[in-house]
Amino acid sequence: MLDIAFAKPALPKSGALALLIHEGEKPSGLWAQLDEATGGAIARAFDVAEFKGAKGKSCLILAPGANLTRVLAVGLGKPAELTQKILEEAGGAVASNLSKETNVAVANSALTAQQAAEVALGAVLRGYRFDRYRTKEKPEDKSKLAKVTVLTSEHTKAKAAWEPLDATAKGVFLTRDLVSEPPNVLDPPEMAERCRKLSELGLKVEILGPKEMGKLGFGALLGVSQGSVKEPRMVIMHWNGVSGNGRKSKEKPVVFVGKGVTFDTGGISIKPAGGMEDMKWDMAGAGTVIGLMAALAGRKAKVDAIGLVGLVENMPSGNAQRPGDVVTSYSGQTIEVINTDAEGRLVLADVLWYAQQKFDPKFMVDLATLTGAIIIGLGHEYGGLFSNDDALSQKLTAAGQVTGERLWRMPLDEAYDKQIRSDIADMKNVGGRPGGSITAAQFVQRFVNGKPWAHLDIAGMAWSTKDAAVTPKGATAFGVRLLDRLVADNYES
């Protein structure tokens, strides 16, 4: 993780400098000083590149003089339209364009403390790398960037503003690490043990194995796991940010639930071989919940929050669940399993029922890489949002707009229920191709028991095949910042 610092504005004596420039802005401060020190090289480079500070545009100048190796100008667009997202993306541009530098200073004459921290967050998020298993990477292919110093007159306040963002970034990195791990390393028991380590942050962590879940009656979740030699786990993480230290809270806890299929072959309804390696990230919903809980604990959020993850591996074997099996969920409702590759909703069924029965939450949000159908509908631009609560939906959507982790609300309607009617059980686990993500959400809703609830289908958002502004190619940790913002803006006392 990048080392972040804040300091008074001053031209660096060496290394690289990034200038954040508004559209139409006139040279001033360090920009003007640097142009003078380089004999007008900065102004000439901007003219040649036709750089005018438009949002998302940049101009890289090599060895301009003044002992600097590189100068990067990043456009912020019009001052009146400046947002947190734009500042973060500017920080991301700094990290991606100056990755061959060791130390980088970032300057804009008008950065407030909060804005400086947001630029730093973008740089940190974009600078992430998962290279644990690289043994022969060439030095020239590695990022050298180790430290970013954001220059602002409010540098002392900026350090304080950075602390909660730093905790959130660490939660994002935890999620990205988990989602990136190969499935032979990260199986359900190992993932549960990594959750246990979060007790170091002040989380209370409980882990249930197959015996405990069997006694409870988790027939849906255990049915998914029965084909694998890797035992399932359910992990319950408590953050008592209000009721800790003997204090009591009148508020009900907020609850987050994640689907954690550490590898999904499809089971007996086996997937095609092509692309099956991607199914290591079918636990991204659980990974997001784990990163979120780490973020809340890391920044000492003033909220009582509970994260639950159901961890299974879906494998074919002589003992695997079959199409046609009927299982009894923890709720007592019976499910005819038509397709063993529609397993995530079976995991959520038991964990969600446990969550609302055990904790009587203010609301529940579940996250799951649940359906390919949501990718057909929304591509890789929005996560699908399904909810029985308009107010919660609006808050989630607003948090997504601020963080850039955008959601699009999809319908829930009794008309879709007929697609999951079973001839021999209370329901079946698939409803056919039409409205596949909707019928999946309708299925999940049957285990919510009327509690305020939102279901986020993040199948199109958990992994990226290309670099983005603040997210390098690979695991995105979509949902950590979204839900952290939801809590910060609406539910902290």
Task: Identify residue 113 by its one-letter amino acid code.
Answer: A
Cα 155 to Cα 4, 15, 128, 150: the distances in Å are 12, 20, 24, 8
Q: Which long-range contacts (CB under 8 A, 24 or more apart) does 473-476 make?
A: 474/130, 474/176, 474/180, 475/130, 475/175, 475/176, 475/177, 475/178, 475/179, 475/180, 475/281, 475/284, 475/287, 476/176
| Residue 122 near residue 134 (C-beta atoms within 8 A) | no
CA distance 477 to 456: 13
Confidence (pLDDT) at 493: 85
Confidence (pLDDT) at 246: 67
Cα 138 to Cα 72, 116, 135, 270, 467: the distances in Å are 25, 33, 9, 38, 20
| Residue 311 near residue 230 (C-beta atoms within 8 A) | no
All domains of the chain in start order, with CATH: 3-152 (3.40.220.10), 168-490 (3.40.630.10)
Cα 157 to Cα 10, 23, 88, 296, 366: the distances in Å are 18, 27, 18, 21, 36
CA distance 310 to 188: 9
| Residue 419 near residue 439 (C-beta atoms within 8 A) | yes
Helical packing angle, 480-490 and 284-298, nearest 10°: 40
User: Three-state SS for 7?
Assistant: strand
User: Three-state SS for 257?
Assistant: strand
* Active-site pick, 345, 395, 481, 485: 345
| Residue 298 near residue 170 (C-beta atoms within 8 A) | yes
pTM over 0.95: yes
* pLDDT by 10s per residue, the chain, length 493: 999 999 999 999 999 999 999 999 999 999 999 999 999 999 999 999 999 999 999 999 999 999 999 999 999 999 999 999 999 999 999 999 999 999 999 999 899 999 999 999 999 999 999 999 999 888 888 899 999 999 999 999 999 999 999 999 999 999 999 999 999 999 999 999 999 999 999 999 999 999 999 999 999 999 999 999 999 999 999 999 999 866 777 889 999 999 999 999 999 999 999 999 999 999 999 999 999 999 999 999 999 999 999 999 999 999 999 999 999 999 999 999 999 999 999 999 999 999 999 999 999 999 999 999 999 999 999 999 999 999 999 999 999 999 999 999 999 999 999 999 999 999 999 999 999 999 999 999 999 999 999 999 999 999 999 999 999 999 999 999 999 999 999 999 8
CA nearest to 438, candidates 415, 397, 461, 410 = 410
* Active-site pick, 271, 300, 302, 409: 271
- Residue 57 catalytic? no
- Residue 271 catalytic? yes
